[in-house]
Structure 1
Amino acid sequence: MAWTQNPWRMLASIGLIVAAFSASAADNALHFDGANDQVAMPVPAALAAANSFSTTVWIKPDSLPTAARVFFAQTDTSNFVTLLMSTSGAILGYVVNGGATVSTRSTDAVTAGAWNHVAMTWDASTSTVALYINGVLQPSMPGGASSTGTNGLMTIGSRTDGAQSFPGSMDRFDLFNRVLTASEVTTAKAGCQAPAGASNSYAFDQGNAGGNNAGQTSLPDGAGGNDGTLQNFALTGTASNWVASDVTSQCSYAVGGTVSGLTGTGLVLQINGGGNASISANGAFSLSAVPYGATYTVSVLNQPTSPAQSCTVTNGSGTVSGPVSNVAVVCTAVAVPPVAAAAAIPTISEWGRYLLTALMAAFALFMHRRRSRANR
């Protein structure tokens, strides 16, 4: 009934719903200004140090400050969990359980201006904390003691009292109430997908990237309902705001290999029916990137000419689990068919010559008599 009475109002409502869905479905991240931005929420039950847990997160630092907190969950000064990024880019993980501190420091450093995957696991049964940087388990190295903040709070992007702010973007922060295996962490980094069973999951997909997001002040928890609240963000422009994320591009890998035997011109390779690449010389080549877990097929679109060659591909198909560099393209000359010898001109025998002479003489006599009659 409402449709027939006011169709334009209903169309407008549908447009608003579609717009809202589009905004929430975007692949975004959240940028922290490094001054006072933070996301605050109650301490998740998964981060009780008495129990085993794991965390995974993508971070893209603008710079490497003196000390910056990726997150800090503090029940009290004797029970808290935190990840800290140092000025060298090393990540330090701290678990304080009943006043006892267990810490570790990564030997690998995260890179400013690039997305880095960071994971921490805590095995309560063995009091062991482990760090993974970009899917690589770090050697155990004590990280010392950590400062503390405000009790009964978890913050993303700072210490719980607002100090040690993180400068840069974050995406896909997940918590698990169990110890992730090394394989799960590696797959999470390589496949850009969190392991199953997250107790708390923050996708950072709110807002309009780089737009006016004055009303987008909540960081929803897609698994546990422990939503966070954005504090001190500008929520407009390309900093201190919701921004576009390119995390998924970190999980696509180039497919390539080597070409040998090429002497002609015009060789064109393609991958998965597209992504054409012209090859002009022997040596290494690289084709378009393919997402982790996807299949690929490399083929020859155009064979070389001048001189003509036939190129074949080996190791040309498979499933991407990392960079592919073993595709081999081997070119060989095309065999040119031999030119057929000219047919021999037949010769006339001696009797044949006599016969031909007689025929020519008879023809000449015939023509003479014909002309004679014509002149009478």
Structure 2
Amino acid sequence: MDSLTLQRNYQCDQCGKSFSDSDVYKRHLRIHTGEKPHQCDHCKRAFGRLSSYKRHLRVHTGEKPFQCEQCGDSFTWLSSYKDHQRSHTGEKPYQCDQCGNSFTRLSSYKDHQRVHTGEKPYQCDQCEKAFSRLSDYKRHQLNHTGEKPHQCEQCEKSFCLLGDYKRHLRIHTGEKPYQCEQCGNSFTLLSSYKDHQRVHTGEKPYRCEQCGKSFSSLSYYKRHLRVHTGEKPYHCEQCGKSFRLLNVYKIHLRVHTGEKPYCCELCGKSFSCPNYYKTHLRIHTGEKPFRCEQCGKSFRVSSEYKTHLRVHTGEKPYWCSRCKRLFAWAKSLKVHRCVAVEEESFD
């Protein structure tokens, strides 16, 4: 008898789909019945397929069978591994039709679409705040619970999310798994690596609609927007002063604490700000990086260089409120005022 004759045909009464294998047919029926015979003993989650159940177990066992040969990162899911590979190849198969931005992951592409649609499907039940991305929503939920289950054993810092905790560990291990093939620079975070790639490509995808300035990094773009909005989110509780940038705020706090972490090894002088420290080092090295193109004179400090340029430009930004006379330098204005006061005293 012909093998095709012996082959049985299993047809689904609900959707009309046909199957040649009885086991496949039975699994298919669970789509309609909702039956999930494979239950996880750890979290009681149930699955319709045995293969899905086995993959789920990796969440509890921590098994990550898919390892990247280039950077050593391991992944629980094959799909996550494939998405990661694109971080090395630079492939971005998902392109937005509206703005042209491309993405390595389908999920990132879908999240991006909501930037244009304004859709925010994930809403918090406690404060009604809405989010366009599920990851942002989950991170926000932990703000209400205060739960930070992942604690660093080295510095005791705690994290809401496992991913944030793992990235933090690289600070202590010094691991920098993302290396630029063009210049050899390595990075701790994938986001930093991607931002760096734009140094070579010249790409600046984040454009300010108010002034037209473009940025290679989303974080730089967001900080720039505060120039226009006037927002200063970092507020000093001791003196009430507010700051636009976090690093400037942290440096300011040292005014109150007296902390000066940057110490010169040559003379022992300490500084609260890294820029002041770098400028100070030039006293010892003799370096004068700011050179006037018109006369060739060089300067150690940027402010001295800018002041010097007025010799050539004729700019006089300081003026006397009494006689309206203009001056190129603040010290000249001060001398002028002192002379005027002395002359008045003799009158």
Q: Identify the structure with the greater helix proportion.
A: 2
Larger radius of gyration: 1
TM > 0.5 fold call: no
> Greater strand percent: which structure?
1
Output the TM-score relative to the length of structure 1. Answer: 0.19
TM-score, length-scaled by structure 2: 0.20
Q: Which has the higher contact order (CA 8 A, sep 6+)?
A: 1
